[in-house]
Amino acid sequence: MKMYKSAIFIIIVSILTGCGDNFSCENEEVLKSVNEAIVSNAVNERDFRTFRPYRQSGLTGKAVMIAWDTPLTIDSNPNAKSLTCKVRVTAMLSDDETSRIKQRIDDITHRAESEPGYESNKGFIANVNKAAMNMARTRQVTGTIEYNLYQSKGHPVTEVGNTPENSQTIKDVGDKLLRPVARIYAAQGGELALNDFYSVDIMSMFRTR
């Protein structure tokens, strides 16, 4: 069971028991929980243009996968049995999400083919589609996450605090990774007009690193 308090990104991991080797910055379950904190807060970030959380577009935490460098212990308190850890993370779209984006782009293109003027804009449409798929397959967002590990009632607790670095990393995952995908979702669902989707602005969003 995990408990989330989104204001300060707290996760309580109750499945870990004891201490010893379990109590470390590199513990697999701890990292999994930190991963969930990053992704769940990223999908709750608000798109600065629509002012809607990305989850309202249909995006879930399963859209993003996180790769880790080796976590570092930057502070420890043996008396309180607590650790402060820091890790460099790289976020990217999951393989399943990339496959879904391909299907969504195909659906959007099929609708565009029935629109007047499709033939004259066919080349530009193809370029936007290509940029969207390149973004989905290759875009990566890197950042640093700091988290604390301590004992509470015999259970290790993982806390991802609202530090400037953590907040920036989560914001970047939202802005650079989820916002372009949300535009694809909106275009497929009819919330974003085809003329607005097949535009220089959207092309730039897909191409910007």
pLDDT tens, position by position, 1-27: 343 344 445 544 434 444 445 678 888
Mean pLDDT of the chain: 87
**Boundaries of domain holding 135:** 2-207
Residue type, 43: V
**CB half-sphere exposure, 70, CA atoms < 13 A:** 2
Mean pLDDT along residues 180-204: 95
Mean pLDDT along residues 152-162: 80
> Over 90: is that where the pLDDT of 99 sits?
yes
Mean pLDDT along residues 148-158: 80
Residue type, 108: I
Q: Quote the CA–CA distance of 31 and 158 in Å, as a whole number.
A: 9
Nearest in space to 196 (alpha carbons), one of 207, 183, 178: 183
The total number of structural domains in the chain stands at 1
